[in-house]
Structure 1
């Protein structure tokens, strides 16, 4: 994934989503195993393969957005 390009219908690895969010991949892994799970929705393709749908990552980001003007 180049920079912050994110296709809504694309499937991304933990490392690609971590790069986009500017967090360490271990943070996404920790969020997935939290009770309850945190972070963007994910799909376990197999025991060692996890993918994130671009649309879900965008929805997650927008749902956690804080608008300071709205809080006034």
Structure 2
């Protein structure tokens, strides 16, 4: 079945409002002092702790561990 016109209207409304929402989200994440005070420097995982917990992938790389299983220990 063909999509209903009301579906397209909802999509248009959403897309039309997206630029303003993106500006709002950008400002919230980059200029809000309260949010930054609560989040900057949180969630840091030193390499030693990351290794102890056995983290992998982006979390390990974010902790400064230069290890990629696909590159360093491929199974193919």
**TM-score computed with the length of structure 1 as normaliser:** 0.25
Q: Specify which structure has the bigger relative contact order, considering alpha-carbon pairs within 8 angstroms and separated by 6 or more residues.
A: 1
Normalised to the residue count of structure 2, the TM-score between the two structures is 0.24
Higher relative strand content: 1
Pick the structure with greater CA Rg: 2
* More helix, by proportion: 2
